Amino acid sequence: MKRVVLALCSAAVLALTACSGAGGSASADGRLAVTASFYPLQWAAEQVGGDHVTVTSLTRPGAEPHDLELTPKDVGALGSSQVVVYLSGFQPAVDDAVRSQAQDAAFDVAPAADLSITAAADGGAGTARDPHFWLDPVRFEKVVTAIGERFATVDPAHAAEYRAHAAALVERLAALDQKFRTGLASCRSNELVTGHVAFAYLAQRYGLSQEGIAGLSPEAEPDAATLRDLAAYVQQHGVTTVYTETLASPALVETLARETGAKVAVLDPVEGITSASQGGDYLEVMRSNLETLRAGQECR
Ligand SMILES: [Zn+2]
């Protein structure tokens, strides 16, 4: 890794990135160079790092993170990062790039995220761990704390600030969790019918049961039998709202709605923030998701 960093630093254009060649020291602008692999991790890293970090995200706003492809430039940038925050098993290209470019800097949040839910893998190849931990604020709290500890270890001069920022963010997530608990405590329907099955951790946390059309990745195409079964489920359980998502095609959910007479509402799996997002950051979009769920599930 050292050789890679030195090679990159010979280019004047990269003069502001980490050029010390030694892991753990600050970059030329004095900030910790952090790469995050997708939006919720980027947001958490920014909140925890504050003024002492520069965070780059590998997933562009509005891009689908599941099947992220990396350019050679992206891969090269990993080699000059002091911390690479990622979720192993979620984005295969990132797993590969971390292995080849950033083994020392890599920080896998999977252990803190507690990915205990498995689902049918796309393509029918057995089961896979559900990656969408960030839609459960309680799991996200654990990840935020872990990021704070990692920053504190890599940049001990600012350890107290990283830990304080992490604790403050954990408090905001705990308040969000409380809002969801109260908001979803008493609903006419506890059946959550979605497009891509991103909401299993959220559903489990707040007593909903999720039935999805597609698999863990929004690109998966369901067959006609799956759609027919789901239409029967919607009718049997008196489901009045089915949910599509911001980054996925609404066609399948709209078909289901047409066949069952249910309404369509949009839930955001918070895999990226764009001008179409119902809020400017993770917390705002999650609060908007809660209002959407309260209307769709008919909560008091
Ligand atoms: Zn997803």
pTM of the predicted model as reported, rounded to 2 decimal places: 0.87
Task: Judge whether residue 217 has pLDDT over 70.
Answer: no
Task: Judge whether residue 15 has pLDDT over 60.
Answer: no
Same domain, 81 and 114: yes
Same domain, 194 and 283: yes
C-alpha 287 – ligand 1 centre gap (Å)? 18
Same domain, 169 and 88: yes
Which of 8-12, 62-66, 123-127 is the least confident region? 8-12
* Boundary of a domain, candidates 145, 179, 213: 179
Identify the pLDDT of residue 148. Answer: 98
* Boundary of a domain, candidates 128, 161, 179: 179
Q: Would you place residue 122 in the very low, low, confident or very high pLDDT band (cuts 50, 70, 90)?
A: low
Q: Residues near 283 by Cβ (< 8 Å), separated by ≥ 6?
A: 172, 176
CA-CA distance, 154 to 250, in Å (whole number)? 43
C-alpha 7 – ligand 1 centre gap (Å)? 36
Which of 37-46, 105-114, 120-129, 152-161 is the least confident region? 120-129
C-alpha 129 – ligand 1 centre gap (Å)? 12
| 8 Å CB contact between 42 and 55 | yes
| 8 Å CB contact between 249 and 154 | no
C-alpha 219 – ligand 1 centre gap (Å)? 10
User: What CATH number did the domain enclosing 40 receive?
Assistant: 3.40.50.1980
* The pair of three-digit structure tokens given for residue 265, joined into one six-digit string: 């509402």
Task: Judge whether residue 123 has pLDDT over 60.
Answer: no
C-alpha 2 – ligand 1 centre gap (Å)? 34
Same domain, 98 and 33: yes
- Please report how many Cα atoms fall inside a 13 Å half-sphere around the Cα of residue 132, on the Cβ side: 24
C-alpha 171 – ligand 1 centre gap (Å)? 25
Q: Which residue has the higher pLDDT, 288 or 197?
A: 288
Which of 19-33, 192-206, 225-239, 276-290 is the least confident region? 19-33
If residue 210 lies in a helix (H) or strand (E), which one and from where to where?
Answer: strand 209-214
Same domain, 239 and 119: no
* The pair of three-digit structure tokens given for residue 272, joined into one six-digit string: 């990226």
Query: In Å, how far from its chain's centre is CA 64?
Result: 11
Same domain, 162 and 199: no
CA dihedral sign of residues 108, 70, 277, 230: negative
* The pair of three-digit structure tokens given for residue 260, joined into one six-digit string: 């069952």
Same domain, 109 and 123: yes
CA-CA distance, 197 to 131, in Å (whole number)? 10
Per the prediction, the chain carries an average pLDDT of 87
| 8 Å CB contact between 283 and 43 | no
* Boundary of a domain, candidates 115, 148, 179: 179
Residue type, 58: L
C-alpha 212 – ligand 1 centre gap (Å)? 12
Among candidate residues 132, 116, 112, the one with its CA nearest the CA of residue 65: 132
Q: Would you place residue 221 in the very low, low, confident or very high pLDDT band (cuts 50, 70, 90)?
A: low
Identify the pLDDT of residue 12. Answer: 37
Report the pLDDT averaged over residues 85-105.
Answer: 94
C-alpha 279 – ligand 1 centre gap (Å)? 18
C-alpha 56 – ligand 1 centre gap (Å)? 20
| 8 Å CB contact between 283 and 176 | yes
Same domain, 55 and 165: yes
DSSP state of 123: G
C-alpha 80 – ligand 1 centre gap (Å)? 28
Which of 38-52, 123-137, 230-244, 269-283 is the least confident region? 123-137
Same domain, 260 and 281: yes
Q: Residues near 169 by Cβ (< 8 Å), separated by ≥ 6?
A: 44, 47, 48, 144
Structural domain count of the chain: 2
pLDDT in tens, 181-206: 999 999 999 999 988 788 999 999 99
Task: Judge whether residue 134 has pLDDT over 70.
Answer: yes
CA-CA distance, 110 to 88, in Å (whole number)? 6
* The pair of three-digit structure tokens given for residue 41, joined into one six-digit string: 């991790």
Percent of the chain with pLDDT over 70: 85
Q: How far apart are the first and last CA of the chain?
A: 56
Domain that holds residue 264: 185-296
Same domain, 189 and 288: yes
Identify the pLDDT of residue 218. Answer: 59
Same domain, 225 and 82: no
Same domain, 189 and 157: no
